Amino acid sequence: MSAARGTAAFYRLDNTVQRYDWGSTSALQDLLGLEADGRPAAELWMGAHPLAPSSLAPVRGDADQGAGTASSGTLLDLVRAEPAAVLGTRVLDTYGPRLPFLLKVLAAERALSLQVHPHPHRARAGFNRENREGVPRDSPICSFHDDQHKPEMVVAMTRFEGLSGFRRPQRALELLDGLDGELVARMRAALAARPTEAGVRDAFTLALHARSGPDVAADLERTVASVRSRQALRSRRADATVLSLAEQHPGDPGAVVSLLLNRVTLEPGESMFVPSGHVHAYLSGCAVEVMASSDNVLRAGLTTKRVDVDALLECATCAPGPAARPRVSVDAGSGLSTYRPPVAEFALTAGRVRAGGAVALPDAGPRVVLCLAGEVVLAAGADGELRLARGESVLVPHAAGPLTVRGDGHVVVAYVP
C-alpha cells in the first residue's frame, strides 16, 4: 500500500523537551546534539498529546526522495485532519481520532515523584469533577489533565533504577524492624496486625497522611539516622534508597515508604510495565518510555509539584507482588526485541539494526520511529526512503503501508499492536 493522496509516507518530528527539575543535565542533550547549559532536561515527548504535541518538521536532504511531508503544524493537527490515513480504520474505530500512545525518552538524574496513574473510570470521573469545579487544566491544583488512563512501560537505555509495586508484608516488616521513630512504629504495627493487602494499605496510608503532621520532619530525621547507623547486609540496597531519597527530599515520608516497595534495577534492554493504579517512582537512569497518551499523574510525595494523597489512595492498588514485566520476544532473523504489555494501546519493537539487508518493522497503524544511535534508512512501499540519524524521529502513518529499515543503528518503534 502506498500513502493515500495528500498523506505523506513520513513526517519528521520536532519534539518538546520537558525540563523538570529531576532531569539529567547531559543525557538528552547528548542524544539530540544540544549544547549542555547546566539546565536539566527530563523527558522528550513524541506524540500528539495536547499538552505538548510534536511539530511536523520539513524534510531535509537528498536521501528523503519521495518522502514528502508537511512543513508546519503539529502531529495533533495531522491526526485530526486525516484520521483514517494516519491511524487506519482499526485504530480509528477503537480510539477515535487520536493517537493512542505517547513515546518518550526519560533521563532521570534524581528521583521522580512517588506516584500512581488512574484507571480509566477514575480518570474520567476525576477529569469531569475538576471540569465541573472550573479547575483550569494548567492550574497547579489540577490533578487530572485529561480523561485517559496511563499504563506505561519503560525499556532501559542505561542501568535504570526504580520502585514499583509493594513488597511482601513479611519482607517490609523485616526492613522496618529496629528503626527509630513514631511513624515507622505505627507502620510496623499496622503490618504486623494484618500482614495482608489490607495491612499494606494501612501502613501506606499512615505514611502518606503523616506528611501533614506537625513533627514529621524531626520524626523522620530520627528514622533516617537509624537507617544510616544499622549495618544489616540484608537491607543494604533498601537502606541506601532511603538515605538517597531523604537527602533529595528532607522531611518527606516518601523516603520511608520506599521500604514498602519493590526495588528494581533494569540493565539496558530490560523492561518493566507499570499498570494503572500501581504505586511507583523512577529513581535514576535513561529509558525509552511508552504509555497511553495521557498526562494524569497523582503524586504522594518526593516532589515539589502538587500532592493529592486522597486521589492517589482512591486509585492505588496495594496488593503485594513483584514489579510487572511485559512479554518480550526476540526475532531470530533481525535480533530486534518486541515488548508487549497487557494493554491494547501500545507496544515497542527495538534493537540494533546491522549493516546488511532490510528488516521488516510493524506494518500497519500509526508508527513513531526513533533512532537512538547510528544511522538508518526507512522505506515504506513505493513512496521513497527517509534517513534517520541519532536523536531523530518520524511518524509513519498507516497509509504508508509496510515499513522496513536498513543501515547500522539502534531504532525504537512505538505502535498499536
Query: What is the DSSP secondary-structure string of 232-294?
Result: -GGGHHHHHHHHHHHHHSTT-THHHHGGGEEEEEE-TT-EEEE-TTB-EEEEEEEEEEEEES-
How much is the mean pLDDT over the chain?
A: 92
Identify the residue with better confidence: 25 or 129.
25
Would you tell me the crossing angle of helices 169-176 and 182-193 to the nearest 10 degrees?
Answer: 150
pLDDT, tens digit, for every residue of 1-39?
344 446 789 999 999 999 999 999 999 999 999 999 999
Which of 138-142, 160-164, 352-356 is predicted with the least confidence, judged by mean pLDDT?
138-142
Angstrom CA distances, 217 to 210, 212, 232, 246, 377, stand at 10, 10, 25, 10, 55
Query: C-alpha dihedral over 69, 57, 33, 156, to 10 degrees?
Result: -70
The three-class DSSP label of residue 315 is helix
Rg for the chain (alpha carbons), in Å?
Answer: 23
pLDDT of residue 383: 59
Number of helices and strands in the chain (H, E): 12, 20
- Superfamily of domain 16-54+97-163+266-315 in CATH is Jelly Rolls (2.60.120.10)
**80 band by pLDDT with thresholds 50, 70 and 90:** very high
By percentage, how much of the chain surpasses pLDDT 90?
81
C-alpha 401, offset from chain centre: 28
User: What are 239's three cell numbers?
Assistant: 537502606
What is the C-alpha separation between 258 and 181, in angstroms, rounded? 16
Neighbouring residues of 260: CB distance < 8 A, sequence distance ≥ 6: 166, 167, 172, 187, 200, 203, 204, 207
| Position 253 pLDDT exceeds 60 | yes
pLDDT, tens digit, for every residue of 47-73?
999 999 999 986 544 345 444 444 469
Which neighbouring-strand residues pair with 375?
389, 408
| Position 82 pLDDT exceeds 70 | yes
| Position 340 pLDDT exceeds 80 | yes
**134 band by pLDDT with thresholds 50, 70 and 90:** confident
Domain locations in the chain as residue ranges: 16-54+97-163+266-315, 168-257
| Position 395 pLDDT exceeds 60 | yes
Which of 295-299, 316-320, 409-413 is predicted with the least confidence, judged by mean pLDDT?
295-299
pLDDT of residue 58: 64
Residue 401: CB atoms within 10 A of its CB come to 18
Amino acid at 83: P
Which neighbouring-strand residues pair with 289?
104, 154
HSE-up (13 A, CA, CB side) for residue 245: 33
Neighbouring residues of 56: CB distance < 8 A, sequence distance ≥ 6: 11, 12, 13, 14, 69, 70, 71, 72, 73, 74, 75, 77, 78
pLDDT of residue 193: 98
| Position 379 pLDDT exceeds 90 | yes
Which of 78-82, 114-118, 120-124 is predicted with the least confidence, judged by mean pLDDT?
120-124
Judge whether 103 and 290 are in contact, CB under 8 Å: yes
DSSP-assigned letter for residue 203? H
Cα dihedral 309, 314, 315, 317 sign: positive
**Phi and psi dihedrals of 386, rounded to 5?**
-145, 135
pLDDT (mean) for 175-199: 97
What is the C-alpha separation between 199 and 193, in angstroms, rounded? 7
pLDDT, tens digit, for every residue of 241-250?
999 999 999 9
| Position 231 pLDDT exceeds 80 | no
Identify the residue with better confidence: 212 or 397.
397
Identify the residue with better confidence: 238 or 64.
238
Nearest to 46 by CA among 285, 276, 289: 289
pLDDT, tens digit, for every residue of 258-300?
999 999 999 999 999 999 999 999 999 999 999 999 989 999 9
Query: C-alpha dihedral over 405, 409, 414, 417, to 10 degrees?
Result: 50
